[in-house]
Chains A and B, each alone.
Chain A
């Protein structure tokens, strides 16, 4: 079974600054995906960024980037130029890659509440 751990219950950052959210995971699988989801006060689950484990290059989506360390099983999210709208709960998630099915079972971490201050 996989586990995902987010060791920072809460983080805060000033607007326009950079913040990094930590995530570690434990798995015996070699092929998998990692995700960061954002859950704003509206509670909707919004995909922020995705990383395939077989890719060495770190994923980037505009102001969001990850530092994927496969050997260390670490998957941190860096938010640059933080904006007030980034205030949300952030969840790290793991999904095993299945070659012959579309199995989309996600394992989530406990979440990190990020507050961006003006």
Chain B
């Protein structure tokens, strides 16, 4: 799972600034998922993307949060006008195309820790 690359690992933002978190999936993976882990809690699903498409964003907050996975380049999770409650670990995971997946091939990155001061 070291193949899923996230950066930055740690990000500090002041309230009102924007945070951008990047995720490069494993080679051959075209599906990306973002999860958020608040302090002392489990991971919560945010969004599922394929190249140039958002498939499921049912876990995304309605405002200030957006995600994209362009044809070229990494997936980006963008948080506008951050507030203290956005402080959390944000994990990216990736999986291969549907022909290969049977439930066990989801790999996580090492997470990006956002601290809002």
Residues of A that sit less than 8 Å from B by CB: 4, 33, 42-47, 50, 52, 91, 95, 97, 100-111
Residues of B that sit less than 8 Å from A by CB: 1, 31, 33, 35, 41-45, 48, 55-56, 89, 91, 93, 95-98, 100-101, 103-104, 106, 108, 110-111, 113
B106–A106 CB distance below 8 A: yes
Asked, given contacts A33-B103, A44-B111, whether A102 binds B31 with beta carbons under 8 Å apart, the answer is: yes
B111–A111 CB distance below 8 A: no
A73 → chain B closest CB, angstroms: 18
Residues in B with CB closer than 8 Å to A109 are 42
B67 → chain A closest CB, angstroms: 14
Residues in A with CB closer than 8 Å to B44 are 108
B110–A110 CB distance below 8 A: no
Compute the total of residue contacts between A and B using a CB distance below 8 Å. 69
A45–B56 CB distance below 8 A: no
A106–B103 CB distance below 8 A: no
A38 → chain B closest CB, angstroms: 11
A95–B55 Cα distance when bound, in Å, is 16
A42–B33 Cα distance when bound, in Å, is 21
A100–B101 Cα distance when bound, in Å, is 10
Contacts beyond the supplied A45-B111, A95-B103: 8 A-B pairs with Cβ under 8 Å:
A50-B103, A102-B95, A102-B97, A103-B48, A103-B55, A104-B93, A104-B95, A105-B56
A44–B109 Cα distance when bound, in Å, is 7
B33–A91 CB distance below 8 A: no
B98–A50 CB distance below 8 A: no
Closest to B95 in A: A104
A102–B43 Cα distance when bound, in Å, is 20
Partner of A108 from B42, B55, B56, B106 at Cβ < 8 Å: B42
B115 → chain A closest CB, angstroms: 14
B31–A108 CB distance below 8 A: no
A97–B89 Cα distance when bound, in Å, is 27
B103–A110 CB distance below 8 A: no
A5 → chain B closest CB, angstroms: 11
A106–B43 CB distance below 8 A: yes
Asked, given contacts A97-B103, A102-B97, A104-B95, whether A110 binds B41 with beta carbons under 8 Å apart, the answer is: yes
